[in-house]
Every structure is written in structure tokens, then in C-alpha cells.
Structure 1
Amino acid sequence: MKTRSVYQARTRVPSPPRAVSKTTKNQKSAKATEKNAKITSQTNPAKTRPVDKVNLKAKSSLGTRSPLVRPSASTASKRMSQSTTSTAKKSITQSVKDNVTPSIPSNDETVSNLRQLNNTLLEKIKQLENELSMSRSLFEELKTSTQNIPETLSRFVQNSLDILSDSTFAGDAPEIVNQIDAPSFLLDVSDTDVTSQLNPPLSPVPVPVHHTKPQLLIIGDSMGRDFAEILKPLLPDYTVSAQIYPGCTLETILSEATDLTLSLTKRDLVFIIAGVNNIPNLCPTLLDKLLEQYKLIFKETNFIFSNVPNVHHKPHLNGNIFATNLCLLKHSSVFEYHMFNCNLFLARSMYTKHGLHFNMFGKKEFCRNLAESVLHFQASSYAPSVLLNQGIFL
């Protein structure tokens, strides 16, 4: 029994929870609503209604919350409109201050600018007036000068008609015609130097005469190899032959041509292709000496010099080749030989991989153009042919 009492004494019996009265809570909420009502009445005394304490107590006893009294919507909208208008005014004034540029010219500056513009316009008007007066004076001069033209023309026509109607002139005219028909007069005219200079004798065209064919002789370095075999079927009316000297210069080619062309006439053609082995040492002075040395053989037959073909293994030499070809063309009218411009149609695809010699396609294309030029060729003993076969012959 003692143990139980001790245990009971030690253990504390939990006290029951306090009962919170609802009335106290309702009273507190009522007091809070009263305070809020007083505050609102002080801020807006005209628009707030007096709070009925009895009703508040009744509502608090029922346990419902009383709503807070707030300002009306009209007052809030007025306040918002006032604040927005003030901010808008501030922003407008600030933007106006920002947009006002200090670079607006004053009235004095505009007046000075207008005066300057007026002065320039007046100067231009004066210039135009001067030009107009000059043109009027020129027009008057031309008008006065052209007034006498009809009179002079009529006088000239009248004089010519009088001369034609003259009987003495008409009677002497048949005698002049008979004198022209006289053989002695023709012999005298043919012997004069004036007619020989005006109408120089033309050499015969290289076409087949009697039973023989004209010859086409090709003399050159290794660039002309296989040309004769390709040209024979292209020129059946010519006897085509070739003398090729690989590695030879232009001097040796011309020296060999003196012996090879002894039996040739003006009916025949000699085609020279050389000069590649002279580049870049074929200067104008050397060309002058060579052409002067062999100028006699150019008068015996028709010589055709080919342009020095461009090279692709050393393309920097093509400038020297171009200058050499220009020099050859310049001397063609002096020494009476013709030029064949092969560089008009030659392309890189017509050369070998090395870039110096022609491949078979290039040789055939070269010979085809040469054959077309020969067929259209017209020999002359006093000047070279010009622009034959689309500009290939010069």
C-alpha cells in the first residue's frame, strides 16, 4: 500500500485544459473594428457612417467578423488621376527640354544665308545672260554669212550652163576623144613615171598556169615539223615541200632560203617559221641587219613570215616575242613580205606538256588556217596583203 501511495504521489495528474470563452474573442474583434472605424472617421469624417456599438456587440456575440471601412471608389480614382496628371506633366516638360536643340539658327543667321544665296543666284543669272548674248551674236553672224550662199550658187550654175552651151567647147570635144584613142598618145602615157606610180603592175596570182603547179616551200626550225604532210591534202593545187632545220636560228634559216629559192618565181610561195631559238636575243637592230642583208630574195618570190609562236614553258619570254612580232610587222611594208599571225588562234591545248612545240592537234590547226590563207592569198610586188582570211594574213 505504501508503494502505491508513493507512486501516486510522484505522478502528477494532468489538469484539464482551460476552456477559452468565445465571448472574449468576440470582444477583442469588436474592439479592433471600433479602432478601425475611428481611424476612418478621422480621415474622411464626411463620408463615414457612425458605427453602431450595439450592432457590433451583437455581431461579435454571433461570432462574425465586421468588414473594415475603406474609402470610396470615387476618391481613389480622383487621387490616381491627380497623380497620373502630375507625372505626365513632369514627363512632358522633361521631353520638351530634351528635344529643344541648341543648333537652331537665329534670325540673323538665316537672313545672312538667304543673302548669300541671293548673291550666288544673281551671279549665275548674269552668266546666263552673257552666254545668251554671245549665242545671239553668233547666230546673227551665221545668218548674215549664209544669206549670200544662194546667190553664189545661182551664179555658179549659170556659169556652168553657159560653158556647156558654148559652141566652141562642144566642137573641140570630139578631137580630144580621138587624141586619147591614138596609139602614139597611149605609148607616151605608159612611159611616164606618174602612171606607173599611181597604177603599179601587179604580180600574177599564184594559181596553176599551163601544166605546172605553183610551189609552196616551208623553211623553218623544229616548229614546222610535219607541216608538209598535213598541207598536201589541203592544197592539192600546190606542190608542197619542206626543209626543216631543228635548233636553227633565224639567220641560218634565211641563209638557207637564198639557195632554196633560186628557181622560184612570183607564182610560188615561201613560208618561213623561225625565231623561237633566237628569243630573247632577237633585238630590233639584229632584225634590221638580217632583213637588210636578205632583202633581194624577198623580191624574187612571195615570202610569208609566220609570227614567232608564243611559248608556255617560259611564259615570261612572251613579252619579248610580242615585241619581235611587232618589229617584223613594221618591216613587212619596207621589205615587201607578208605576215601570218598564228598567235590569233593558238592556245595552250595545242602545245605539248613541255609547252614549247606543237602537238598533233596544234599542227593540224596551224596547217588548216595556213591552207585557208593560201587559198585566199593575192600576191603583190609593191605592198603586203592585208586582212586576208579573217585577219590571219597581214
Structure 2
Amino acid sequence: MQGKGRKKKDNIQNLRHKILVVGDSHVRGMAAKLRDNLGDHYSVQGLVKPGADLAAVLSSGVKETKDFSKKDVVIVWGGTNDVSRNETDKGLIEIRNFVIDNAHTNVLVVNLPNRMDLEATSCVNQEIKVFNRKLRKYMKVFDYASTLEIKFERDQYTRHGLHLNTKGKDLAAKLLKSTINNIFNVSKVTPITMNWVGKHVMPCTKNAGKTGKQLDDNSESVISQVETPQQIVPSIRITGRERKIPVTRTNDFLW
């Protein structure tokens, strides 16, 4: 008994990240598939409410994320019922308020898949495109929130065309795994350094306005060295070409 209890305690301590998946019927079974893809170092839980709108789904998700930190992720996948009821803006407001209330952790929002039980030109599928486009704009404001865009094919849906089959959910689980790993694997960016410039070659403005012949007669150097330790002075290009008088003249031209 002591060995089993100690083993269970050690497994809990080894869990580095907590993952919570909340959503409607599209999320059914996603927690188990995501747990298989992520491994034993992640604690994955699912909160599914089939047929519910985003207000009902996210209201219960707030209670579950109180103990979350920046080492954890909340995955939100829902909004099908909001779009079908022509309440796209209401659903987007619910997601935005949920993201604001969970600033203490990471939030990942998945876009809505198209409905294959309807035509591609139907008003519902057109509204889904509007929902996904506005969702990307809403999430750009928050540095701790991001969106995952997944495009599914017809063979990744069930026969009726509304929900995803096993093939579609496997694809979603793989993409969610890679996105979660990118959230925690912070890459170090090496800054590009520029060499210090002490001197800058600048043409002398003393001979500005002179013709090419006058410049040839002048024995002084045109180039001067200017010390610019703090700021690089842009160079001024000066032409030495002599301007010519127009050859063609009209009778009514006034000289």
C-alpha cells in the first residue's frame, strides 16, 4: 500500500503542466487523444457541454482555471451554436471576456470548422468565416492568448458532416500538441549587432552650386572627413553637370 501511494504521489509531482479543454460537442474525446500525444508530464482534463453556447461553456471553465499559472494552458473550442443562431458577436464577446479573466495563464482558442452538412455557400458557413476572421483580430491584442487554425477535409468528418470523426480528431490532437510545445519552448533570439562607425565620408558643401569646369579648376579636395561619434550624418549628393539652355523655342516665349 505504501509503495502504491508513493508512486501515485511521485506521478503527481512530475506533472509540469496542466491542460484544460473546454468546448461544445467538437471537444468530445479530445482530452484523451491529447493526453496520449503529450505524454505523462501533462495533466489533461476535458470539459464538454454538447449543444451549449459559449456563455454556458466558458462560465464553468472560469472555476476550473483559478489555480492555473503561466505553466498551464486553457484550450477553448466552441461557438458552433452561437454562429447558427446568428449570435457571432455575442460569442466573440464571451471569448474576449474569458481571455481577460484568465490573464494569469495561457489561452489557446481553436477556430470553428466548416459544416459539411451544409453547402459551402450557405449563410452559416459564410458566418463561420466571419467568426474566424474576427477571432484572429481579437486575440492579437493579448500576448498570452493565441489562435489555432485547422482546416479539415470531408473525409475527416462523420457521415452527417457536422462533427469530426476519428481521423479529424487525430489531426486536431497533433496540431494542438505542437502548438502547446511551442508555447512552453521559448526560443532564444540572438539580436543582430551593428559595428560602431567612428568616421563618415561626407561631400564638402563648400563647392555646392558650381559647374563641372569650376570644380576642375579648384584644387581643394571635395571630400572631407567628419567626425560623427554619436550620429551618422546622411551624405548629400551634388551634381557637377552643367545645365544646358533648351534648344527648341516658341515664338510666344517671353525672354
TM-score normalised per structure 1: 0.40
Aligned to 2:137: 330
Q: In 2, Cα distance between the equivalents of 1:374 and 1:260?
A: 19
Aligned to 2:87: 282
How far off its partner does 1:297 sit? 2.2
Aligned to 1:240: 44
Secondary structure at the counterpart of residue 135 of structure 2: helix
How far off its partner does 1:288 sit? 5.5
Q: In 1, Cα distance between the equivalents of 2:113 and 2:88?
A: 16
Identity, % of aligned pairs? 27
Tell me which protein shows more helix as a share of its residues.
1
Contact 1:304 1:338 in 2 (8 A): yes
| RMSD of aligned residue pairs (Cα, Å) | 2.2
C-alpha spacing 1:262/1:274, structure 2 compared with 1 (3 Å): same
C-alpha spacing 1:324/1:356, structure 2 compared with 1 (3 Å): same
Tell me which protein shows more strand as a share of its residues.
2
> What are the within-5 Å matches in structure 2 for residues 1-394 of structure 1?
211-236=14-39, 237-280=41-84, 281-284=86-89, 286-287=90-91, 289-291=93-95, 293-315=97-119, 316=122, 317-336=124-143, 337-343=145-151, 346-378=152-184
- 1:110-136 deviation digits (Å, cap 9, x = unpaired): xxxxxxxxxxxxxxxxxxxxxxxxxxx
- 1:275-322 deviation digits (Å, cap 9, x = unpaired): 0111132333x2454245434323111010000111111231211101
Unaligned runs of 5+ in 1: 1-209, 381-394
Unaligned runs of 5+ in 2: 1-12, 187-255
TM-score normalised per structure 2: 0.61
C-alpha spacing 1:278/1:329, structure 2 compared with 1 (3 Å): same
Contact 1:216 1:239 in 2 (8 A): yes
Secondary structure at the counterpart of residue 334 of structure 1: coil
C-alpha spacing 1:328/1:292, structure 2 compared with 1 (3 Å): closer
Q: In 2, Cα distance between the equivalents of 1:362 and 1:269?
A: 22
Q: In 1, Cα distance between the equivalents of 2:179 and 2:116?
A: 26
Contact 1:282 1:324 in 2 (8 A): no
Higher relative contact order (CA 8 A, sep 6+): 2
Q: Which consecutive aligned stretches of 4+ in structure 1 deviate over 4 angstroms post-superposition?
A: none
Q: Which has the larger radius of gyration?
A: 1
Contact 2:74 2:107 in 1 (8 A): yes
C-alpha spacing 1:378/1:234, structure 2 compared with 1 (3 Å): same
Contact 2:54 2:91 in 1 (8 A): no
- 1:66-104 deviation digits (Å, cap 9, x = unpaired): xxxxxxxxxxxxxxxxxxxxxxxxxxxxxxxxxxxxxxx
